[in-house]
């Protein structure tokens, strides 16, 4: 049993990312074309040079033809992947491993979701025929059980816990207000977050990610070829992935205060990348803030805070744009919404911008650190898949 | 034309167990008059939850009747308000009770008199016969039926007693008086009953009840003044009252501690009254059950010594004493009289018939699996052991009667539900196992971590005409009916 990783063997040489928004005038094909076009424009790489494609979309369409048709790709290996909300990250993982294997010289990952055509609020899964015994809860309800469990376990009173969740929402909206691609570009106050209508449990509207359409894309090549396509490549240090068996839902020992799949993926990623002190070594991290308590718990699962202390670290501002470790400097799912297949690549896009000094000045980090982490999860507490990447501008 | 029933009595066959099921919610009649300015009256009625139908209520009554571990050889289910027609509802009850495939299960008729035929058939048949009756009574707003009827189920097991499962009341006499006349009728698919003017039925029932009562007493060889308890049920309230006055002949033998609290529960009511009467009866007492429904049927029962020692698992009297008020607006929405704006979420897909069939034990019986290596319980059942990797070494474990404790819970205001919001809890079961499950018969603001819950068989939703039956958690102990909390 081993997870060797592909540290410094593959580089991202181009990326594209559409605005994430209610894009009534854009269909799935338009979003794909826009992200891919920006990606090619960003690099010397051309469509003819791409040897293989992976499309991440949870519900946008079946098969690789969903990508091949709009981009007019003929006779090449094009594959559609799906892995809950980590779908976009999985597309990149497949493309990077394909290049690392030597099978291809250049591969492209595209993630896309057209959410706002359903006419319903929130995200909606289309399920296969079932026996009618499955949960019908929203993700908000499942994640809402985390906050009281965490508060009870670590002795955080209700008012303080509310302040912690609000601080996370305020921070991410602050960052998103400084990002032209974000869906929500207005700062909010803690009071706004706390007065918002409740969705599930103690979670209000501002504790939940928005819902948006969007797409993002990346081109990967062997690290040694990277400078043929860009002057500033982003090297892949780690790509890790962990799927739980779903047993947390029925395991009486699971207490809803942590996500073991995320901790497992983080440990694997740090081992692959050779990271021993994430706070000291990482310039930033993008994490899967689908709901505010999710981000709180992730700070501990990803090793950014000791167990039971993240709530204090949040209140101390350690994860703000000017903190020890800026979390979700692009505004996160909170500001971007969550077009499922695109989100994982959108997170990597922020690392692509920040580490290369290309973020808008209002949120550009000034740091000498050269590595960033992205974390992307899918599923629910107790039944989850988790992805972690580490990316860097320097070869170690 | 009147006919006296002249069948052969099988000695020592009688009632082994009887149980009722009374839904948790109550509607006060005064809420109706407050809203409409008419109708309602002063009483209360029981209201099946939005996730209950006659099948689920029948399951709950039967579970209570079989709580002692009784096995049965046949199942008959009678209701005037079936969840399905053509499809056999008794098969659903059979599945929820996890009865062997060799036990026949049959829906019986659709009239207010059908349960009687089911009971007599079971009495005459071999072995232990389980008879389940349920009804869910509707009427147009402000009608007498809306306020004066109710929802309930009842179940009895009849047969020859054993040491472990003795007969608590022998059936010692029967009488029937059948007559074709139109007093109350309802077209299939309609929820609204229609009535002829009251006096005609009253006079017909007066004659029919005397005939059936007299025939049953003669069949039993019992004099009228030996009757200790007289239980009368019928949808025609004036006829019931008149028959009671006439047949009790001034003696204080009329018993009904039920109807004032539940309303008249139609096709379930006579057996519900009987279950309640047996809870209160002592050895040797003679009880007559008289039902008025397009004729009259009378049964004469004599309580045995065993009635003193066999106590019901969940008495009707205590179910009546618990419950919580339901606002009239909720009643109207639950009954489909008013449609309120739902959350803008997709309605659920229809259940796959094949998937439901494959998973019958889990879906209908709430049967999980237990890993013999570790004792770990999987719900739904697993084939592969997480601990050992062994395949198909699991043991089935029934969780339907397990008591659970709420570990954590949430309120989902957005998810689809026939009656939002969904109250949902993570439940740890005594003896092992955890399952996240929807709660029912609960007020969202009164759930607490640590509360005890029991499992109850419910209808989650209906899509493409297919009812999705599964289990939910129900907090216990339930509050008293005097609680001021509303749903």
H, E, C per residue of chain B: CCCCCCCCCCCCEEEEEEEEECCCEEEEHHHHHHHHCCCCCCCEEEECCCCCCHHHHHHHHHHHHCCCCCCCCEEEEECCCCCCCCCCHHHHHHHHCCCCCCCEEEECCCCCCHHHHHHHHHHHCCCCEEEEEEEECCCCCCCHHHHHECEEEEEEEEEECCCCCCCCEEEEEEEEEECCCCCEECCCCCCCCEECCHHHHHHHHHHHHHHHHHHHHHHHCCCHHHCCEEEEEECCHHHHHHHHHHHHCCCCCECCCCHHHHCECHHHHHHHHHHHHHHHCCCCCEEEEEEECCEEEEEEEEECHHHHCCCCCCCHHHHHHECEECCHHHHHHHCCCCCCCCCCCCCCCCCCHHHHHHCHHHHCCCEEEECCCCCCEECCCCCECCCCCCECCCEEEECCCCEEEEEEEEEECCCCCCCCCEEEEEEEECCCCEEEEEECCCCHHHCCCCCEEEEEEEEEEEECCEEEEEEEEEEECCCECCCCCCC
Quick one: average pLDDT of A83-88?
97
Q: What does the pLDDT look like over B390-426, one tens digit per residue?
A: 999 999 999 999 999 999 999 999 888 889 999 999 9
Q: What does the pLDDT look like over B173-219, one tens digit per residue?
A: 999 999 999 999 999 989 899 999 999 999 999 999 999 999 999 99
> What pLDDT is recorded for position B477?
57
Residues A321 and A341 in one domain: yes
Q: Which residues of A are catalytic?
A: 85, 338
Q: How far apart are CA B21 and CA B319, in angstroms?
A: 7
CB contacts under 8 A, B 454-473 vs A, are 460, 468-470
- Local confidence band at B478 (pLDDT 50, 70, 90 cut-offs): very low
Count of structural domains within chain A: 2
Residues A294 and A379 in one domain: yes
pLDDT at position B486 over 80: no
- Local confidence band at B479 (pLDDT 50, 70, 90 cut-offs): very low
**Partner A contacted by B346 (CB < 8 A):** yes
What are φ and ψ of residue A152, in 5° steps?
-70, -45
**Residue A103 DSSP label:** S
The CATH number covering residue A15 comes to 3.40.47.10
- Local confidence band at A331 (pLDDT 50, 70, 90 cut-offs): very high
> What pLDDT is recorded for position B10?
39
In the numeric block, which tokens belong to residue A118? 């359903």
- Local confidence band at B434 (pLDDT 50, 70, 90 cut-offs): very high
> What pLDDT is recorded for position B11?
47
Residues A285 and A159 in one domain: yes
Give a yes or no: residue A145 inside a domain: yes
Q: B72, B131, B50: which is closest to B472 by C-alpha?
A: B50
> Higher pLDDT residue, B233 or B480?
B233
Residues A199 and A227 in one domain: no
CB contacts under 8 A, B 60-89 vs A, are none
Q: How far apart are CA A96 and CA A220, in angstroms?
A: 6
Give a yes or no: residue A162 inside a domain: yes
Q: How far apart are CA B238 and CA B203, in angstroms?
A: 10
From the CA atom positions of chain B, what is the Rg in Å? 23
B217 close to B175: Cβ distance less than 8 angstroms = yes
Q: What does the pLDDT look like over A150-209, one tens digit per residue?
A: 999 999 999 999 999 999 999 999 999 999 999 999 999 999 999 999 999 999 999 999
pLDDT at position B7 over 80: no
Residues A145 and A76 in one domain: no
Helix (H, G, I), strand (E, B) or coil at A144: helix
Residues A375 and A292 in one domain: yes
Q: Who's near A191: CB < 8 A, 6+ residues apart? A: none
pLDDT at position A274 over 80: yes
Residues of A with CB under 8 A from a CB of B: 118-122, 124, 127, 129-133, 135-138, 140-142, 144-145, 148-149, 198-201, 245, 247, 249-252, 254, 256, 382
Q: pTM value? A: 0.93
Chain A residues with CB under 8 Å of B356 CB are 131-132
> What pLDDT is recorded for position A7?
98
Residues A26 and A143 in one domain: no
A266 close to A303: Cβ distance less than 8 angstroms = yes
Pick the residue of B415, B439, B440 with the most A CBs within 10 A to test the interface with A by mutation: B415
Q: Who's near B25: CB < 8 A, 6+ residues apart? A: B46, B47, B48, B49, B323, B324, B325, B326, B441, B487
Tell me the pLDDT of chain B averaged across its residues. Answer: 93
**Partner A contacted by B412 (CB < 8 A):** yes
Give a yes or no: residue A3 inside a domain: no
> What pLDDT is recorded for position B345?
79
Chain B residues with CB under 8 Å of A251 CB are 434
pLDDT at position B49 over 80: yes
Give a yes or no: residue A125 inside a domain: no
A311 close to A150: Cβ distance less than 8 angstroms = yes
In the numeric block, which tokens belong to residue A234? 């982003």
Give a yes or no: residue A5 inside a domain: no
Quick one: average pLDDT of B38-55?
95
Cβ separation of B363 and A124 shorter than 8 Å?
A: no
Cβ separation of A136 and B409 shorter than 8 Å?
A: no
A382 close to A146: Cβ distance less than 8 angstroms = no
Residues A217 and A256 in one domain: no
Quick one: average pLDDT of A128-139?
91
Q: A11, A53, A24: which is closest to A229 by C-alpha?
A: A11
Give a yes or no: residue A46 inside a domain: yes
The pairing of strands B452-463 and B403-412 is antiparallel
Share of chain B above pLDDT 70, in %: 95
- Local confidence band at A118 (pLDDT 50, 70, 90 cut-offs): confident
Tell me the pLDDT of chain A averaged across its residues. Answer: 96
From the CA atom positions of chain A, what is the Rg in Å? 20
> What pLDDT is recorded for position B485?
41
In this complex, the residue of A127, A138, A198 whose CB is nearest that of residue B415 is: A138
Q: Who's near B216: CB < 8 A, 6+ residues apart? A: B173, B174, B175, B288, B298, B299, B300
Give a yes or no: residue A40 inside a domain: yes
Q: How far apart are CA A390 and CA A394, in angstroms?
A: 12
> What pLDDT is recorded for position A1?
61
Give a yes or no: residue A133 inside a domain: no
The whole-angstrom distance between B305's CA and the closest CA on chain A is 45
Chain B residues with CB under 8 Å of A245 CB are 386
Ordered domains of chain B (ranges, CATH): 13-334 (3.40.47.10), 353-476 (2.40.50.840)
pLDDT at position A301 over 80: yes
Quick one: average pLDDT of A3-13?
97
> b vs e for A189-222, b when ≥16 Cβ sit within 10 Å of the residue's Cβ?
eeebbeebebbbbbbbebbbbbbbbbbbbbbbbb
Q: Which of A289-298, B224-233, B437-446 has the lowest mean pLDDT?
A: B437-446
Residues A108 and A148 in one domain: no
Cβ separation of B359 and A133 shorter than 8 Å?
A: yes
Residues A352 and A375 in one domain: yes
Chain A residues with CB under 8 Å of B434 CB are 249-252, 254
Q: Which domain holds residue A155?
A: 139-206+236-392
Chain A residues with CB under 8 Å of B415 CB are 136-138, 141, 200
Q: How far apart are CA A332 and CA A291, in angstroms?
A: 10
Q: What does the pLDDT look like over A208-221, one tens digit per residue?
A: 999 999 999 999 99
Helix (H, G, I), strand (E, B) or coil at A391: strand
Quick one: average pLDDT of A250-266?
96
Q: A77, A139, A83: which is closest to A111 by C-alpha?
A: A83
pLDDT at position B9 over 80: no
Give the end of a domain, one of A198, A233, A268.
A233
Within A139-257, strands assigned E span 198-200, 203-204, 214-222, 234-243
The whole-angstrom distance between A214's CA and the closest CA on chain B is 21
Residues A302 and A218 in one domain: no
Chain A residues with CB under 8 Å of B412 CB are 137-138, 140-141, 200-201
B195 has which bridge partners?
B184
**Residue A72 DSSP label:** T
Residues A199 and A104 in one domain: no
A218 close to A95: Cβ distance less than 8 angstroms = yes
In the numeric block, which tokens belong to residue B445? 């603001």
Helix (H, G, I), strand (E, B) or coil at A277: coil
Cβ separation of B362 and A149 shorter than 8 Å?
A: no
């Amino acid at each position: 049993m081993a997870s060797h990783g592909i540290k410094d063997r593959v580089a991202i040489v181009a990326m594209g990312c559409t605005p994430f928004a209610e894009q009534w005038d854009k269909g799935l094909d338009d979003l794909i074309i826009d992200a891919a076009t920006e990606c090619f424009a960003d690099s010397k790489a051309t469509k003819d040079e791409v040897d293989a494609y992976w499309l991440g979309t949870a519900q946008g369409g079946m098969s690789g033809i969903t990508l091949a048709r709009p981009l007019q790709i003929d006779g090449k290996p094009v594959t559609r992947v799906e892995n809950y909300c980590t779908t976009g990250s999985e597309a990149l993982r497949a493309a990077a491993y394909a290049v690392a294997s030597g099978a291809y010289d250049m591969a492209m990952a595209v993630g896309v979701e057209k959410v706002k055509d359903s006419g319903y609020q929130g995200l909606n899964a289309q399920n296969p025929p079932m026996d009618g015994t499955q949960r019908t809860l929203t993700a908000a309800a499942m994640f809402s059980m985390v906050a009281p469990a965490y508060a009870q376990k670590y002795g955080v009173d209700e008012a303080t816990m509310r302040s912690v969740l609000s601080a996370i929402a305020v921070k991410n909206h602050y960052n998103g207000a400084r990002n032209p691609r974000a869906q929500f570009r207005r700062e909010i106050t803690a009071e706004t977050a706390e007065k918002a209508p409740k969705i599930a449990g103690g979670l209000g509207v501002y504790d939940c990610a928005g819902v948006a359409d969007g797409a993002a894309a990346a081109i990967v090549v062997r690290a040694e070829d990277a400078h043929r396509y860009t002057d500033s490549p982003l090297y892949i240090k780690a790509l890790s992935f962990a799927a739980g068996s779903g047993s947390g839902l029925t395991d009486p020992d699971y207490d809803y205060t942590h996500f073991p799949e995320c901790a497992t993926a983080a440990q694997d990623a740090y081992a692959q990348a050779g990271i021993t002190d994430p706070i000291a070594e990482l310039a930033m991290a993008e994490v899967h803030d689908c709901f505010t308590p999710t981000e709180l718990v992730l700070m501990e699962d990803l090793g950014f805070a000791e167990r039971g202390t993240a709530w204090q670290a949040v209140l101390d501002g350690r994860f703000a744009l000017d903190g020890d470790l800026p979390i979700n400097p692009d505004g996160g799912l909170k500001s971007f919404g969550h077009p499922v297949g695109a989100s994982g690549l959108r997170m990597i896009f922020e690392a692509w911008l920040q580490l290369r000094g290309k973020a808008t000045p209002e949120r550009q980090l000034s740091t000498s650190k050269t590595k960033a982490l992205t974390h992307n999860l899918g599923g629910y507490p107790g039944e989850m898949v988790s992805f972690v990447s580490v990316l860097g501008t320097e070869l170690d | 034309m009147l006919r006296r029933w002249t069948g052969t009595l099988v000695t020592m066959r009688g009632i082994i167990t009887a149980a009722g099921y009374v839904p948790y919610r109550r509607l006060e009649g005064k809420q109706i008059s407050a809203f409409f300015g008419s109708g309602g009256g002063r009483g209360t009625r029981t209201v099946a939850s939005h996730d209950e139908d006659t099948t689920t209520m029948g399951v709950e009554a039967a579970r209570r009747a079989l709580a002692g571990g009784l096995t049965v050889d046949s199942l008959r289910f009678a209701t005037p308000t079936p969840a399905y027609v053509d499809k056999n509802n008794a098969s659903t009850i059979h599945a929820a009770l996890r009865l062997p495939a060799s036990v026949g299960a049959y829906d019986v008729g659709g009239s207010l008199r059908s349960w009687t035929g089911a009971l007599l058939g079971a009495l005459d048949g071999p072995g232990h016969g389980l008879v389940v009756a349920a009804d869910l009574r509707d009427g147009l707003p402000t009608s007498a039926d809306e306020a004066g009827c109710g929802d309930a189920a009842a179940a009895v097991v009849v047969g020859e007693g054993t040491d472990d499962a003795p007969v608590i009341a022998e059936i010692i006499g029967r009488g029937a008086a059948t007559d074709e006349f139109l007093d109350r009728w309802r077209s299939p698919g309609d929820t609204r009953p229609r009535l002829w003017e009251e006096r005609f039925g009253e006079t017909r029932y007066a004659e029919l009840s005397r005939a059936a009562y007299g025939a049953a007493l003669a069949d039993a060889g019992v004099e009228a003044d030996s009757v200790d308890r007289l239980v009368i049920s019928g949808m025609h309230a004036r006829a019931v009252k008149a028959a009671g006055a006439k047949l009790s002949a001034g003696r204080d033998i009329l018993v009904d501690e039920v109807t004032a609290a539940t309303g008249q529960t139609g096709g379930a009511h006579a057996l519900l009254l009987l279950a309640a009467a047996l809870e209160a009866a002592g050895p040797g007492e003679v009880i007559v059950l008289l039902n008025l429904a397009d004729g009259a049927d009378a049964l004469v029962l004599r309580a045995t010594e065993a009635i003193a020692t066999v106590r019901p698992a969940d008495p009707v009297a205590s179910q009546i004493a618990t419950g919580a008020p339901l606002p009239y607006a909720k009643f109207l929405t639950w009954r489909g009289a008013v449609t309120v704006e739902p959350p803008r979420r997709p309605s659920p897909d229809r259940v796959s018939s094949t998937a439901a069939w494959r998973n019958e034990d889990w879906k209908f019986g709430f049967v999980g699996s237990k890993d013999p290596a570790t004792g770990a319980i999987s719900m739904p059942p697993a084939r592969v052991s997480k601990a050992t990797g062994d395949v198909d070494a699991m043991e089935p474990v029934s969780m339907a009667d397990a008591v659970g404790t709420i570990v954590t819970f949430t309120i989902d205001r957005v998810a689809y539900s026939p009656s939002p919001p969904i109250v949902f809890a993570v439940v740890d079961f005594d003896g092992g196992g955890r399952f996240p499950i929807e709660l029912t018969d609960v007020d969202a603001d009164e759930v607490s971590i640590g509360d005890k819950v029991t499992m109850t068989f419910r209808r989650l939703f209906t899509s493409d005409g297919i009812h999705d039956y599964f289990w939910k958690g129900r907090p216990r102990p339930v509050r008293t009916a005097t609680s001021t909390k509303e749903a």
